[in-house]
Structure formats: structure tokens, C-alpha cells
Structure 1
């Protein structure tokens, strides 16, 4: 029996990403509700569209109020994770009395319908919209077979 080491490596990589999510989830354990970075905030998930162009998977995500420096994109096999780290917009020396428009950190993950080549992936951030072009791997592209 042959083992596909790429599948095993991808499985362990996915487990590492899951461990990171669990670490963030329990990082505030024991803190008061309001101070807990996980439970004391409203979840924010960017609205996202996923398109299959045949050669690529294209993703368009609305991420207003974040700059490209605040966003990270991780790709491993067919797993995609988009993270945003919010920065405080409260001027130094000010005490917030009411904050309704504050932004939160976010983490959004997807299992893509095909494996992508992370080395050839492209990302562009423009006017609060993140555009990702993820070329499919050769094995993931459909191939027409002629019957002889």
C-alpha cells in the first residue's frame, strides 16, 4: 500500500491551524466577560464571494476599516484563512464614553473546493475590498480525456 505523504502533511498543517484557533479561543479564560478578547466582542466576519474560473479560484471579501497591513492570508493545500487585526482609533489621551463603531479582530477560514498553488497566489486590497486569485494545482484542474 502506498501512502500519499502530501495528504498526511496537509492533515498535520490543518491540525496546526486548528490548534491556533483553539489557543485564541481559550486565551481569555478566567478574565471578566468584558475584558475577554473572545467573548466580550461581537463576531465580525467579512462578506465573501468565491468564484471558480476554471484555472483559478477567485475570492472577493469586503473588509472595510482595515488596511492591507492589518490583514494576513494563509493558504495550505485547499485550506484558506484570512485574519484581520484591528487597531484602536481612539486618539491618545481620550477616554471613550461610547463606542458603537469600533472594529474587532476577525478570523475567517474556508475549505476550498480544490487545492491551490500558494506560491502563485496573488492578493490585492483596494477600497476595503480584498481580491485573491488562487491558481489551482495541476492535479486539481479538470482534464478532458479523448477516448481512442
Structure 2
């Protein structure tokens, strides 16, 4: 895992975790930012929470299917699902500039790097 995202804290002992499922996550890097893509099927923007507290990034969301009016359930495997995932961020990330979007249950976070941690080109002059 990239050093900018140091640790996935979701994989703690079972007694410290909730009953939430771990969403699948992909992380991509470019010079100025990281991109975190999380798969949270059925989650809508209204039930998605993205927070950073003490450099711990938390993603939480819930999907709930409503019972159609006038119907009686005789068998139901999927009624609701809670997702949660946490990552410890390094101090290279500008937490005040993180952006989040969701489209069809796919969460996209852009985690910009602080200006001091971005690669920069050094102008070389002739002597």
C-alpha cells in the first residue's frame, strides 16, 4: 500500500469492528493527488459519510431496500447493508482539500497532496 495512505484500520480484531462490510477499494496516484475509488453498491449520497479525524479517513454508507407497499415478504436475503472503511493518512495529504463524489454506488475521493510534497521541476541554468 502506498506510504501516503499508511494503514487500513478497518482490519482490526473483530471485537473492535462493527457489523459493516468492507467495501472494495482501489487507490491510484498521480503527481498532485491520490484517487481512492470505493465500491459501495446501493449507497446514495444522502447515506454516505466521509470524514477525516486526526488523519484517519473514514468512509461509511448504508444501503436499505424499501418493502414495496402492499406486499408481504416471504423470503428476503438483501434488505440492508452497511459499509465502513478507514485509512490512516500521512501528513502529505491536504485534508482540507479532499473532494468526494458518488455515482451509482461508486465513491471517488480525490486526496490532494500538500504543495510541499508535490514533485516540482527545477530550472537548470547554464553556467
Instruction: Tell me the distance in 1 between the aligned counterparts of 2:39 and 2:95.
Output: 21
Distance 1:109 1:83 in 2: 9
Give the structure 2 partner of residue 127 of structure 1.
104
Offset from partner CA, 1:47-104 (integer Å, 9 cap, x none):
1101121211110111111101110001235421100133342235655332212332
**Does the 8 Å CA contact 1:77/1:115 hold for their aligned counterparts?**
no
Is 1:75 aligned to 2:60, yes or no? Answer: no
Structure 2 distance, partners of 1:97, 1:91, is: 13
Greater percentage in helix = 1
- Taking a change above 3 Å as real, the CA distance of residues 133 and 120 of structure 1, as seen in their structure-2 partners, is same
5+ residue gaps in structure 1? 1-20, 26-37
CA RMSD between the two structures: 3.1
TM-score by length of 1: 0.59
Whether the 8 Å CA contact 1:114–1:140 is kept in 2: the answer is: no
Q: Judging changes above 3 Å, is the alpha-carbon distance between structure 1 residues 110 and 98 closer, same or farther for their aligned structure 2 residues?
A: same
Runs of 4+ in 1 over 4 A off after TM superposition: 92-95, 142-146
Bigger RCO (CA 8 Å, 6+ sep): 2
Between the aligned partners of 1:88 and 1:126, the Cα distance in structure 2 is 18
CA contact (8 A) 1:76 1:118 kept: no
Which segments of 5 or more consecutive residues in structure 2 lack a partner in the other structure?
1-14
How many residues matched? Answer: 110
Query: Which of 85, 107, 111 is 2:84 aligned to?
Result: 107
Take 1:76 and 1:145, find their aligned partners in 2: how far apart are those partners? 35
Counterpart for residue 62 of structure 1 = 39
Q: Which residue number in structure 1 is paired with residue 66 of structure 2?
A: 89
